[in-house]
Amino acid sequence: MKAIVKYYIKLILFTGLVFFPFVLLSELSSTNNYNKEIFNYEILIIGLLMSLYMVTMQIIGLRKLGVRVFTDNVLKLRQEINIISKLQKHELINKLKLDSIYEKIKINEISEGFKFKTKLTWMSYGEVVYIKIKCLNEFQNEYNIKSKPVYIFTLADYGKNYENILRIEKIIKNNTK
């Protein structure tokens, strides 16, 4: 089954289940008699409309980033990549602070590297980016970069986590001194 179809089905089921109690309460509190068939159609329509919007916006966001083939990995909300580079930790932090998107972020040190949160936008509640650093030798580091939504209930990020990974990869690979 194609990745996009699986994503649509997942969102149809999830949004239908999330809105199930609200539609049920609405049906039970109305003066009309409860009709099971209408109720099932309402849940299905809500799931279809919500998934249609969210998946379409996800595809549009990813296409803007240059994605043409949609796989399960590309559609995942939690993105991850490993990069080997000569760039040192303090150099990466300085480069992040020079980037127009990340210049105002607050970088927090963690045991193996650092993390930061991106700001709330109309497309996203924000993302948490973890950059773990493993020293391979005195000249090279391995960077494990993970980007995920701030809230676990996020169903679609419209390509924001994928964009974070691509942007940080570009910052690391453009290591010019």
How would DSSP label each residue in 120-131?
A: PBTTBS-EEEEE
Q: How many CB atoms lie within 10 A of CB 15?
A: 20
Report CA-CA distances (Å) from 9 to 1, 4, 22, 159, 160. Answer: 11, 9, 21, 19, 21
Angle of helix 89-98 relative to helix 160-173, nearest 10 degrees, comes to 120
> Smallest Cα–Cα separation from 165: which of 119, 131, 114, 123?
131
Is 1's pLDDT higher than 70? no
pLDDT at residue number 151: 92
Domains and CATH numbers, the chain: 3-64 (no CATH), 77-173 (3.30.310.80)
Is 176's pLDDT higher than 60? no
pLDDT at residue number 130: 97
- 9-67 per-position pLDDT tens digit: 999 888 878 887 877 777 777 766 666 677 777 778 888 898 999 999 999 999 999 99
State the pTM of this model.
0.85
Average pLDDT over residues 127-133: 96
